[in-house]
Structure 1
């Protein structure tokens, strides 16, 4: 009789299952926008750097040969920050690390405006990179863990779409502010210090991950957070939460070796390759884009105008990726957008030689469309690959490995240009995108699945 009763009594849902089945609510929207504004400010900082380098190549012409190291120093900081920040997020919490990293890189960006030499700017950009690299994988992990299961990929792509907002803002500032004087780059960097103020808002208003709270035995806090989301959705909370969620377990300490444990090695290897290849081509192309256009004979202001137009194509790229990722799936969307990026890169390289403004703009816009759409899919799939105790570490190390490519890429541009000009440079970028697409096809398809606990 008791067996029959157990068969007929439905199991009570866990807190994470309750979150997974909720509709998209105003609290989800506030979390998305709150994280997204931080994301946009990150993009503003990275985007401004390309315009700053283009002006400094003129203003500090005697140190122009060292400017490639400024970009690479920032990316070196991002590589370390991503790995360390992801691990800290699994130990201290997603929200805490998110706020601290925003504060770190915002203050360092403001100080960068006071630089008097390439050496000083290089050191400060390294510190900026530490904060910036830590923040991005942590924010995507936090949003992924709160998103409803059936639209989780789309929500994370929309989060990544805030990168386009920041990139466009950077292009506008680069176009309107930097050319106004020889100190225009300083004013631009001061504007980039805004995240330091925003960090306070983030820390006070955003919720901590329910999955993280449960992994640390903070069940009452986790229950309050879930009930808050249920109230926003107009869903009644169960009178008795699942018993398994009331048991405090000893927290599991994540380690990098676990990323290559049973069932993890193949996906970790594949996602690291995708991150490396996507970073190499994106940062190799877009950090140098204004400088490449100036070198092709376009005036500084006109080059900045073209970059602004090309950047606008990021928005429809993100929109298409967000729509397709729940239809084609993560793997198909990511691989397809990387292949599109490869074709666009090749056309852009030959357009830069011909001097055809139409070809430069059209190919550049397609490169922006496909490349940033791929970024959205990449950030969506990465946190899904790992269980909760390992999620921040997995996402952080994948981003950190990718940042190694972003260090190498800006330094590789001058020798590749010397070897064969823009066609050789962008054919190389296209080939790198193809390798990334092949690696993406080796990832598991996790559309519609629950995040592993």
Structure 2
């Protein structure tokens, strides 16, 4: 790898796929996996804990949305990872998750469970900007879409596993919900151990004025041909680490675009997945085995992500997003307009929504990491995640109320309107970043080809 890397025009952006990239992709996918697991296991657990803890519709909605509320708070910690680095928080945020997961086993009231699930959400929400920023800053441009896409697939894998585990644990008896909720500690412990020893991002180190450490990491990962000039950003293109940077003249449209389509994608989706068993019962599907039905629906989202990994590089980000939202809207309209059947139309609605959601789902992590520079990349991921989770919280909290008051048909039509909003946002605001280096996508042009000043001072060979 070293000899080939040394001969490439940009040994970092054009690097070959390596075992390091594979491991980093898997480890960074841990947060999304646990997010999908935690948000989905509650759907099965609610069927038992609702009578056990005497939950009314308000508490059912609050507990269903509690982890999303925590993700909103945790996402704000993206600013922390831009200021203090990716590596440290990359591991310790899962320690909080493990503790909160175990404590769920011992709850005896609705408010205790609500608080613990908010804490779980904070841990998961904090991991999003940390892990995806770190992954993006090591990813070659050819593989960046795929690597970020795998983290999205991991979300649905986590959701699918959660439904299967939940359905299996129901056999334990009326206390099975305790084991379901505590089970997220198991993958949490495994991921903490696997993430130990992950290097810090060289882009972040260079931006912090630590060129020696940045160069050391670069050459350990990419070989002796890698140099600071391959990741350096022109001085005039650098920005400061601040929440307000996301709303300045350069980036405000990007912030609106990412937060807007992100919200339109996840608000109906999270509501559907959190109350998947309830929805399937209302459609009179999979009676008695709605957990398995939810696992099947979640698996369809995985299938939808696979062609999207190819389409985002083949057709481009913009075309894939516009087409995906258009078909997803049609799927939601079918679910709303034909809520009472026939069965094949309901199945078609689910299929269209799930199979074509892959593009927007992958872009939820790819877009903010590509469109914002190192100084605010974690902040951008965190803030856009926070904004999207406001919509997701609203959808998840209001879904049981809407189902009870208006029925499944009108409720799904509201979801169709939200999804159509995502189509309009992409139509008018979506940029194209296919094939660009990370510097080009985030600041508008590549770094200069001459040696970066910080490297000249180090007197290192190239």
The 3-state SS of whatever aligns with 1:439 is helix
Q: In 1, distance between residues paired with 2:201 and 2:386?
A: 22
8 Å CA contact retained: 1:72, 1:411: yes
Q: Deviation at 1:248?
A: 12
Root-mean-square deviation over aligned CA pairs: 2.8
| Inter-CA distance 334–243: structure 2 relative to 1 (3 Å threshold) | closer
Say whether residues 1:377 and 2:381 are aligned partners: no
Q: In 1, distance between residues paired with 2:322 and 2:291?
A: 30
Q: In 1, distance between residues paired with 2:112 and 2:261?
A: 33
The 3-state SS of whatever aligns with 1:318 is helix
The 3-state SS of whatever aligns with 2:431 is coil
The TM-score normalised by the length of structure 1 is 0.87
The 3-state SS of whatever aligns with 1:354 is coil
Partner of 2:160: 168
TM-superposition CA deviations, 1:167-210 (whole Å, max 9, x none): 11112112211353111111111211124413532542322211
| Inter-CA distance 382–247: structure 2 relative to 1 (3 Å threshold) | closer
Q: In 2, distance between residues paired with 1:363 and 1:204?
A: 43
Partner of 2:310: 323
Say whether residues 1:339 and 2:331 are aligned partners: no
Q: In 2, distance between residues paired with 1:437 and 1:178?
A: 40
Say whether residues 1:39 and 2:11 are aligned partners: no
Q: After the TM superposition, which residues 15-164 of structure 1 pair with which residues of structure 2 at under 5 Å, given as runs?
A: 17-61=10-54, 63=56, 65-84=58-77, 86-164=78-156
TM-superposition CA deviations, 1:85-120 (whole Å, max 9, x none): x11110121222222222222321221122111111
| Inter-CA distance 244–148: structure 2 relative to 1 (3 Å threshold) | closer
Q: Which moved further from structure 2: 195-204 or 311-320?
A: 195-204
Q: In 2, distance between residues paired with 1:246 and 1:413?
A: 46
Q: In 2, distance between residues paired with 1:243 and 1:328?
A: 27
Partner of 1:443: 430
Say whether residues 1:217 and 2:203 are aligned partners: no
Partner of 1:200: 192
Gaps of at least 5 residues in structure 1 are 1-12
| Inter-CA distance 93–169: structure 2 relative to 1 (3 Å threshold) | same
**Which residue among 383, 388, 397 is the counterpart of 2:383?**
397
8 Å CA contact retained: 1:82, 1:396: yes
Q: Deviation at 1:63?
A: 3.9
| Inter-CA distance 155–246: structure 2 relative to 1 (3 Å threshold) | closer
8 Å CA contact retained: 1:172, 1:308: yes
Partner of 1:5: none
| Inter-CA distance 117–353: structure 2 relative to 1 (3 Å threshold) | farther
| Inter-CA distance 16–123: structure 2 relative to 1 (3 Å threshold) | farther
Q: In 2, distance between residues paired with 1:207 and 1:82?
A: 22
8 Å CA contact retained: 2:67, 2:121: yes
Q: After the TM superposition, which residues 225-304 of structure 1 pair with which residues of structure 2 at under 5 Å, given as runs?
A: 225-231=217-223, 236-237=224-225, 242=229, 253-297=240-284, 301-304=288-291
| Inter-CA distance 361–315: structure 2 relative to 1 (3 Å threshold) | same
Q: In 1, distance between residues paired with 2:204 and 2:15?
A: 19
Gaps of at least 5 residues in structure 2 are 1-5, 444-462
TM-superposition CA deviations, 1:244-290 (whole Å, max 9, x none): 969999x9651111111121111111222112222211112221121
Say whether residues 1:366 and 2:359 are aligned partners: no
8 Å CA contact retained: 1:178, 1:187: no
8 Å CA contact retained: 2:132, 2:369: yes
8 Å CA contact retained: 2:170, 2:177: yes
Q: In 1, distance between residues paired with 2:367 and 2:89?
A: 21
| Inter-CA distance 355–183: structure 2 relative to 1 (3 Å threshold) | farther
The 3-state SS of whatever aligns with 1:444 is coil
Q: Deviation at 1:141?
A: 1.7
Q: In 2, distance between residues paired with 1:27 and 1:35?
A: 12
Q: In 2, distance between residues paired with 1:179 and 1:173?
A: 11
Q: In 2, distance between residues paired with 1:93 and 1:177?
A: 39
